[in-house]
């Protein structure tokens, strides 16, 4: 193993390690880092420290919770007040048909033709955000606005081919609600509330197993404290 320790190239690579760990480097820079890591033990050890920092930074941020409903109520009250004072000029369009056109285009076939997995993730985030709004309607809807506290929860990754209707029907069937997401772990995980009261562990496990069997809609699911 040839050490490149303390040479200018080492220092250049060393400062890039946090972005390499987060997956936000260009392909070219990522290749440079990969090659350097393969031949320099000290750099590899340094990378382990970066990964520890990344994991704990995510953990720390995930414990920060979410804003209360007050923030959203304030926002939409301010928007209403502005619109009442000076309504903005709007282009005429049929909003309902545009949304249904957008959602209906998110068929398995569309997704299969998606250029990248990242594209599919963005599309799915849009589908689920639309489901959340469709289900909860009002800006002050409880699940939209506040972080989960009481009740029983699970973390779910929906199947890439699941459409907005599939997800809506699935959530209705289990009386579940999307309360948070996408969580910052690849951008595909959502926290759902299974019950507003805390259920026994065995019962949560039973519901999660039933949900897992719905492979058309659910790709991955796990109970979450």
Partner 1 sequence: MQSTPDEVLIGRIANGDRLAMQVLYARYHVRVFRFVVRLVRDEATAEDVISEVFLDVWRQAGRFEGRSTVSTWLLAIARFKAISALRRRTDEELDEEAAAAIEDLSDNPATALEKKDKSAMLRKCLAGLSAEHREIIDLVYYHEKSVEEVAEIVGIPENTVKTRMFYARKRLAELLKSEGIERGWP
Using CB under 8 A as the criterion, which residues of the chain lie in contact with partner 1 when the complex forms?
A: 14-16, 18-19, 21-25, 45-46, 49-50, 52-61, 64-68, 70-72, 74-76, 78-79, 82-83, 87-88, 90-91, 93, 95, 99, 102, 105, 110, 113-115, 119, 122-123, 125-126, 129-130, 132-133, 139, 144, 147, 180, 184
Comparing CB distances to partner 1, the nearer of 110 and 212 is 110
Comparing CB distances to partner 1, the nearer of 136 and 212 is 136
Q: How far is the CB of 200 from partner 1 (least distance, A)?
A: 29
Comparing CB distances to partner 1, the nearer of 105 and 210 is 105
Q: How far is the CB of 201 from partner 1 (least distance, A)?
A: 25
Comparing CB distances to partner 1, the nearer of 88 and 213 is 88
Q: How far is the CB of 141 from partner 1 (least distance, A)?
A: 9
Comparing CB distances to partner 1, the nearer of 130 and 223 is 130
Q: For the chain, give the secondary structure using H, E and C.
A: CCCCCCCHHHHHHHHHHHHHHHCCCCHHHHHHHHHHHHHCHHHHHHHHHHHHHHHHHHHHHHCCCCCCHHHHHHHHHHHHHHHHHCCCCCCCCCHHHHHHHHHHCCCHHHHHCCCCHHHHHHHHHHHHHHHHHHHHCCCCCHHHHCCCCCCEEEEEEECCCCCHHHHHHHHHHCCCEEEEEEECCCCCEEEEEEECCCCCHHHHHHHHHHHHCCCCCEEEEEEEC
């Amino acid at each position: 193993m040839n050490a490149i320790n303390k040479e200018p190239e080492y220092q250049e690579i060393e400062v890039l390690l946090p972005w390499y760990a987060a997956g936000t480097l260009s392909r070219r820079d990522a290749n440079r880092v990969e090659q350097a890591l393969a031949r320099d033990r000290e750099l590899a050890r340094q990378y382990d420290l970066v990964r520890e920092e990344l994991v704990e930074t995510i953990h720390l941020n995930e414990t920060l919770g979410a804003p209360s409903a007050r923030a959203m109520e304030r926002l939409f009250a301010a928007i209403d007040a502005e619109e009442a004072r000076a309504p903005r000029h709007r282009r005429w369009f049929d909003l309902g048909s545009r949304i249904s056109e957008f959602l209906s285009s998110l068929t398995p076939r569309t997704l299969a033709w998606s250029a990248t997995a990242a594209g599919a993730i963005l599309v799915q985030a849009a589908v689920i955000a639309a489901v959340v709004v469709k289900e909860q309607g009002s800006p002050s809807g409880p699940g939209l606005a506040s972080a989960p506290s009481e009740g029983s929860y699970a973390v779910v990754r929906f199947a890439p081919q699941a459409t907005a209707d599939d997800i809506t029907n699935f959530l209705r069937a289990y009386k579940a609600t999307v309360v948070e997401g996408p969580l910052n772990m690849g951008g595909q995980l959502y926290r759902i509330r299974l019950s507003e009261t805390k259920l026994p562990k065995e019962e949560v496990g039973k519901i999660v197993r039933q949900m897992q069997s719905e492979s058309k809609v659910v790709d991955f699911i796990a109970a979450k404290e």
